[in-house]
């Protein structure tokens, strides 16, 4: 089964980013992808705090979006349905309990356009290096729950786990998902932290969980001047990189199989050997 990671260089303009996401998803589908993942903040990045708060959506009541679904959720549901694919919607801003903050949320839609998973980013990024400084806790309300979900209509994947960007540094989160076959990680790693740790952490998560990893990233120089690391990639359960993009918008597609997962877990049964 072919899966794809979409890499973007999103701007603060939601409409333009949705059009670009649509173009890139079309490219992935044309290559045969049955599951496609978008990056963190695919609908907008680099916007002011006020603009990001203004772009927040209420989580739609209806599975797959209803009359109260905002434009980003409607786009995700409609695109999944139109192409008949599973679509992991990177992350988008949702309304939080605190009216001054947002939830950085990943929503997943099946091939009928039905929303089947929702994860709110748990670990909030904080980093200072020279003039570069980030503190997501100032504007984002964290989630509190690990999310892993079953996928009965996907032939080669029984269970998927979700994480967003900075979550990658906290391996306990992935243990809480249960035994997963595919880990999807939308991200917007900075160039400094990404160059140092991105590939290392992704491959470690694949090896220790003996699962495929699908990492969809922001990758390049954004209109606001921000530089994200990119290097979207697909990794197999042995830690081998099946495909990657360095910088720039594009898609990376790779073939995954349940047989490969079973081969790795049978030859080196670390999941059964765990003591804690």
> Which residues form the catalytic set?
40, 121, 165
CA proximity to 5, closest of 49, 44, 40, 46? 40
Rg (CA), the chain: 17
Q: How many CB atoms lie within 10 A of CB 273?
A: 7
What span, in angstroms and rounded, lies between the C-alpha atoms of 96 and 251? 31
Sequence-ordered list of residues with C-beta below 8 angstroms from that of 174, at least 6 positions apart, any chain: 146, 161, 163, 180, 183, 205, 208, 209
Q: Where are the beta strands (DSSP E) in 121-265?
A: 126-129, 132-135, 147-150, 159-162, 182-187, 212-217, 219-221, 227-229, 233-235, 241-244, 250-255
């Amino acid at each position: 089964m072919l899966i794809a990671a979409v890499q973007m260089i999103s701007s603060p303009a939601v409409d333009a980013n949705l059009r670009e996401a649509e173009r890139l998803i079309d490219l992935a589908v044309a290559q045969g992808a049955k599951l496609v993942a978008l990056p963190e903040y695919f609908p907008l990045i680099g916007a002011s705090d006020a603009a990001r708060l203004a772009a927040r959506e209420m989580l739609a009541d209806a599975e797959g979006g209803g009359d109260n679904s905002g434009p980003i959720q409607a786009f995700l549901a409609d695109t999944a349905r139109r192409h008949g694919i599973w679509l992991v919607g990177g992350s988008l801003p949702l309304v939080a309990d605190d009216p001054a903050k947002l939830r950085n949320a990943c929503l997943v839609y099946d091939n009928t356009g039905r929303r089947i998973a929702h994860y709110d980013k748990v670990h909030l990024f904080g980093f200072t290096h020279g003039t570069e400084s980030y503190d997501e806790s100032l504007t984002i309300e964290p989630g509190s729950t690990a999310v892993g979900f079953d996928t009965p209509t996907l032939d080669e994947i029984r269970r998927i786990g979700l994480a967003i960007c900075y979550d990658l540094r906290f391996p306990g989160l992935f243990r809480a998902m249960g035994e997963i076959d595919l880990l999807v990680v939308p991200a917007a790693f900075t160039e400094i932290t990404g160059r140092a740790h991105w590939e290392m952490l992704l491959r470690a998560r694949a090896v220790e969980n003996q699962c495929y990893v699908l990492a969809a990233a922001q990758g390049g120089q954004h209109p606001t001047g921000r530089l994200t690391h990119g290097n979207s990639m697909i990794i197999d359960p042995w830690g081998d990189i099946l495909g990657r993009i360095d910088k720039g918008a594009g898609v990376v597609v790779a073939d995954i199989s349940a047989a490969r997962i079973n081969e790795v877990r049978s030859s080196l049964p670390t999941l059964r050997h765990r003591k804690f």
